[in-house]
Structure 1
Amino acid sequence: MEGTDDEARLPRLFTAVWPPREAVEHLAGVLDEVRLERIGSQLRGFRLMPTRQWHLTLCFHGPADPADSAARLDRQVPAAGAAPRLRLAGAGMFRGVLWAGVEFAAEPDGRTLRALVRAAGGDADGFRAHLTLARWNAGGLDRRTLPRQLHGYAGPWWNATEVALVRSDQEPAGPVYRTVHSVAVPRRAAGDQGVLGSP
């Protein structure tokens, strides 16, 4: 029981990549255009995730010591490779979750992101990069209901230059995410823009 008490006092943590403002604003503009909230009104408990919470989860730690998790990131992230170039693209669903997908400029970018998952302590083999857009409590949403703009969505390219250790606090209005530690991902070589023709 002592271990359980100690665990209850620890903050709930996850490691993530925050997309840049340009990527968030681009996707948020598309969601406004397609009136996604109206589409989800048929689902019990449907709620859009606030844009300030949009992130790519690399590893969910649960109750954990921030110092231990931060130290691991400090050791492991610099060796993962150069900042991967990616963009938010497409959309899909898990049960009760609508998400935006992630596209890599080139295969090495995908390998680097998976290396960052391992650096955070996550399962790189089972990793599927995505950004949660909405959640609901029960019922289904036919994939064909998604607007064509989301199926074919492709946002601007960006480099994931930082990995964040994030604390999740449950408050009356819902979860609040706070970055408690961050580690820079090594920069790409000058002039390296990923695949030929990528912006």
Structure 2
Amino acid sequence: MRLFVAVYPPPESVGHLGAQVARLRVGAAAAAGTNVRLADPAHLHVTLAFLGDVEAARLVEVESALGLAAEGFRDGRNALPRFSLGGGGRFGHCRSTVLWVGLRGEVEALHVLAGLVRSRLAQARLPCDDRPFRPHLTVARPGDRMDLADIEADQADLDDYQGPEWPATELLLIRSHFDSRRSRYDRLAAWPL
């Protein structure tokens, strides 16, 4: 099973961001039929840890580790951390260019949660990527199907974007499936924050 751990923004924030993306050059390109691969709004999430392929027999260990991480995060907290989507950036270049929106607000709390998740996975000797945590939501994968100047202009527009505030309410374990046409995500378990 291909697994990752995430926090999802609420539908209101996703809808607000979707309206912003539609106004961007990447949104216009998608509306004109260019294959810029806009992210499916139902799948917009902040990945805290990517486990990759995990044997089904180890699912109970994964769930136990994540339950302990969520419990550790809740200890001593009086309120849920609050965020808003805002700021923009891009990863990669040429064919692998990705346009993303960042998070604002109590972002340090998200770094703490990601650290707890990764630490608990490591303690259980479960796989987990070791890339630095950079909270973001991928909004499009324009690759080289758009001019770089247009992508940079969209990035600048996202830098000025500020979505509505929302609380992170739960930690989710997600299974991803990929085929040649699209990806599908299944929610396997959730823990309150």
TM-score grouping bracket, smaller chain normalisation: 0.7 to 0.9
Q: 1:47 aligns with which of 18, 37, 40?
A: 37
One-letter amino acid matched to 1:75:
L
Q: TM-score, normalised by structure 2?
A: 0.77
**Separation of aligned partners in 2, 1:61 and 1:133:** 22
Displacement after TM superposition at 1:120 (Å) = 1.9
Whether the 8 Å contact between 1:30 and 1:149 is mirrored in structure 2 is no
SS at match of 1:154: coil
Q: 2:136 aligns with which of 122, 130, 153?
A: 130
Query: Percent same amino acid among aligned pairs?
Result: 31
Gap runs ≥5 in structure 2 = 119-127
Displacement after TM superposition at 1:94 (Å) = 0.7
Whether the 8 Å contact between 2:30 and 2:38 is mirrored in structure 1 is no
Gap runs ≥5 in structure 1 = 1-10, 186-199
One-letter amino acid matched to 1:37:
G
| Structure 1 range deviating more: 26-35 or 49-58 | 26-35
Displacement after TM superposition at 1:137 (Å) = 4.1
Displacement after TM superposition at 1:117 (Å) = 0.5
Describe the superposition over 1:5-51 as per-residue Cα deviations: whole angstroms up to 9, x where unpaired.
Answer: xxxxxx0000000110110011111122335233479xx85210110
Describe the superposition over 1:31-79 as per-residue Cα deviations: whole angstroms up to 9, x where unpaired.
Answer: 22335233479xx852101101100000000012322211101112121
**Separation of aligned partners in 2, 1:69 and 1:124:** 17
SS at match of 1:80: helix
Q: What's the RMSD between the two structures over aligned residues?
A: 2.6
Q: TM-score, normalised by structure 1?
A: 0.75
Whether the 8 Å contact between 2:48 and 2:117 is mirrored in structure 1 is yes
What's 1:145 paired with?
Answer: 153
Alignment of 1:11-50 (within 5 A): 11-34=1-24, 36-39=26-29, 45-50=35-40
